[in-house]
Amino acid sequence: MARPVPTPENTTERLYRSLRSIRRVEEVIADLYPTDKVRSPVHLSIGQEAVAVGVCDVLTEEDVVAMTYRGHATYLAKGGSLREMMAELFGRVTGVARGKGGSMHLVGMDNFVLGGSAVVGTTIPIAVGYALSLKREGRGRVVACFFGDGATEEGVFYESLNFAALHSLPVLFVCENNGYAIHQPVDKRWAAKDLCKRVEAFGVPTRRIPDGDVFSIRAAAVAAVSGMKSRGEGPSFLECLTYRWREHVGPNEDFDAGYRDTSEAAPWFQSEPVMAVGKTLTRSVRDGIDANVEAQIQDAVGFAEQSPFPEADELTQDVFAD
């Protein structure tokens, strides 16, 4: 979905449009998945949209994002093409990776969306390397690097923090902490649960947003990004608590799987960001945004369905050797 052309929309309207777009896109993907039209595993961000939306709303078109395999929200919030994303999920040649990457490998360098990766933690050092190049470029651009709480257990996370702090790089580390690494909860993985304190040991300022509020996330991102752009400050870290509504991979709920239950999820259902922000708008404004979102999704699905599959010779293109 292309990032909307600037309009008189206020911040609340703009945030709602982005939240609603991502939610409905993923709900449609979940509905399509059992039909086998989607030719890729999907890791949905339903319930987690506020993190990507709040951070990406403060970035310019030339700022950069790095993301994980659960990247639909980040890709769309940064302005990635919904048509090309849907075509990629359908395995079509008009997709962002010509139908060969699928949901976990979205990329959109026209909007400075670095490619996602299915390997946990691997986009973090890439983001730091890009931030080094941006510092040398000297134009005030920044990188926002998104990752889950599971990625903070990879050694490369701490190596990247140290390098970014040592060289005062313009990178905003954003941990989408949904409390689980696949099915394993934080309290079975972390001996000390205070992630921010671990990060602060590298001299990196931190902020923890406990409730998934998109306005709080946006405000924290504004403070961090403005410091990098206007005062040349180095990296910052946001720990954004959030909650994954669907299964780790796939379109369904999994509260009967034995590792979590609906009582844990209930507070997140009640405070969920799309409805909370939508309620602050007038009915006519909200209905107009909703109608526009549905039209764009219908257009993207139609584009994907009508696009061709890759030809056989695609197997030898975009590889290291013929």
pLDDT at 83 over 90: yes
Q: What is the average per-residue pLDDT within 190-217?
A: 96
For residue range 225-249, list pLDDT tens digits in order: 999 999 999 999 999 999 999 999 9
Regarding predicted confidence, which is higher, 216 or 4? 216
Contact of 51 with 273, CB cutoff 8 Å: no
Q: What is the average per-residue pLDDT within 180-203?
A: 96
* Residue 312 resides in a domain: no
Contact of 236 with 168, CB cutoff 8 Å: no
Q: What is the rounded CA–CA span in Å between residue 78 and residue 80?
A: 6
* Residue 10 resides in a domain: no
Contact of 188 with 241, CB cutoff 8 Å: no
Beta strands in 91-231 (DSSP E): 143-148, 171-177, 180-181, 184-185, 206-209
Q: What is the rounded CA–CA span in Å between residue 42 and residue 253?
A: 13
Q: What is the average per-residue pLDDT within 191-197?
A: 94
Dihedral, 131, 217, 3, 293 alpha carbons, nearest 10: 150
Question: What string of H, E and C letters represents the secondary structure of 188-226?
Answer: HCCCCCCHHHHHHCCCCCEEEECCCCHHHHHHHHHHHHH
Q: Per the structure block, which two tokens stand in for 246? A: 């669907």
| DSSP conformational letter for 108 | B
Q: What is the average per-residue pLDDT within 67-96?
A: 98
First and final C-alpha spacing in the chain: 33
Q: How much is the pLDDT for 322? A: 66
Q: How much is the pLDDT for 318? A: 84
pLDDT at 205 over 60: yes
* Residue 212 resides in a domain: yes
- Average pLDDT of the chain is 95
Domain count, the chain: 1
pLDDT at 3 over 60: no
Contact of 165 with 234, CB cutoff 8 Å: yes
Q: How confident is the model at residue 8 (pLDDT cuts 50, 70, 90)?
A: low
Q: What is the average per-residue pLDDT within 95-99?
A: 96
* Residue 251 resides in a domain: yes
For residue range 251-303, list pLDDT tens digits in order: 999 999 999 999 999 999 999 899 999 999 999 999 999 999 999 999 999 99
How many other C-beta atoms are found inside a 10 Å radius of the C-beta of residue 249?
A: 15
* Residue 12 resides in a domain: no
For residue range 162-172, list pLDDT tens digits in order: 999 999 999 99
* Residue 2 resides in a domain: no
Q: What is the CATH number of the domain that holds 176?
A: 3.40.50.970
Q: What is the average per-residue pLDDT within 42-64?
A: 98
For residue range 99-151, list pLDDT tens digits in order: 999 999 999 999 999 999 999 999 999 999 999 999 999 999 999 999 999 99
Domain that includes residue 183, residue range? 35-301
Q: What is the rounded CA–CA span in Å between residue 154 and residue 149?
A: 10
